[in-house]
Structure 1
């Protein structure tokens, strides 16, 4: 069953059904129908397979959403590079928050998925570990480091969620307004972190 063959919508050559293929199809379907319209039955139809074949790879929809979130992060988030003499930790944090927002905005209802679940897997775990180590080297305590990551993540996803909600409601945002307001709030957070670590 794990080697079930699925046909792509574009009529491309048959390919083995695996988790990566299912997630790729689910993300494509998400862009078309949104989170509300995304169901395992519809996804199975998209892949030209029976619903039971999906459950061989994902036991429920929540597990599928978790994998979709991880895929979105892995597509857009880079691993922390070695620290150099010109390393600017504040810019590094700000750029990370920007990438999270961009990741959430890269898919229809992407912010809703990222707000529900956390990315998992070896790559995500290693990225988090290295980020926490870096914050510790900068001078933040263990709890502070975790809170910094959570705060920036929630802020970035929250901004993206509001932007997507406005679009869904038919509100036409002023060009650049979403980015401008995001950058303003992000600047406040980064400035407060600079002040907090300055004595150290």
Structure 2
């Protein structure tokens, strides 16, 4: 008799299949086949695909958090490091950013890390509202960046059809030479662009959301 199916087993299988099928090809039926059960067996644990995606995103965050280093005291380093950890974690799964985007976390396990990061901003003298704005802005930048990155490179080392800069440039009217040349920047070195974009976000936080005059006591 096969072992009893549990939520963790379903989620682990779904994350593994995600690398093979991508988000569009990931169905409850495909997961059930992989687990050698009938699709209705999955509905004991997840009412629909969105509920499964919510749990997948939560498990992804658990895994990211388990391997994340201790936060530095400087808010700039803490914010940038958190975004790098998020990007690296999402890139570990095909369509990882799409799965993560717009999902609802299914437990409160993330709140400890969230509190720790907000505490770094608090000690630096930021108002809570400004700290939250800084975090959510950097988060949105990172998620959006990785969605675009994974559209170009759905599988590491492979470029999706339609994203070749030379072919793109050849199809653009010569009158729009700047738009044609921009392709090499848009679809080029994502690592460098992420770091430069992240630096802009961090600098913008420092310039626009100035800390209060008196930081909180440690």
Whether TM exceeds 0.5 here: the answer is yes
Structure with greater Cα Rg: 2
How far did residue 120 of structure 1 move?
A: 3.5
Structure 1 partner of 2:153: 167
Q: TM-score, normalised by structure 1?
A: 0.82
RMSD: 2.4
Q: Is 1:109 matched up with 2:95?
A: yes
Runs of 5+ consecutive residues of structure 1 not aligned to the other structure: 6-14
Indicate which of 182, 186, 190 corresponds to 1:178.
190
C-alpha contact (below 8 Å) 1:23/1:67 kept by paired residues: yes
Cα separation, 1, equivalents of 2:164 and 2:112 = 39
Structure 2 partner of 1:128: 114
Cα separation, 2, equivalents of 1:88 and 1:82 = 9
Runs of 5+ consecutive residues of structure 2 not aligned to the other structure: 155-159, 166-183, 214-218
The change in CA–CA distance for 1:172 and 1:108 in structure 2 (over 3 A counts) is farther
Indicate which of 185, 198, 210 corresponds to 1:197.
210
Structure 1 partner of 2:9: 21
Aligned residues: 185
Q: Is 1:32 matched up with 2:20?
A: yes
Matched residue of 1:123: which SS? Answer: coil
Indicate which of 49, 55, 59 corresponds to 2:37.
49
How far did residue 50 of structure 1 move?
A: 1.3
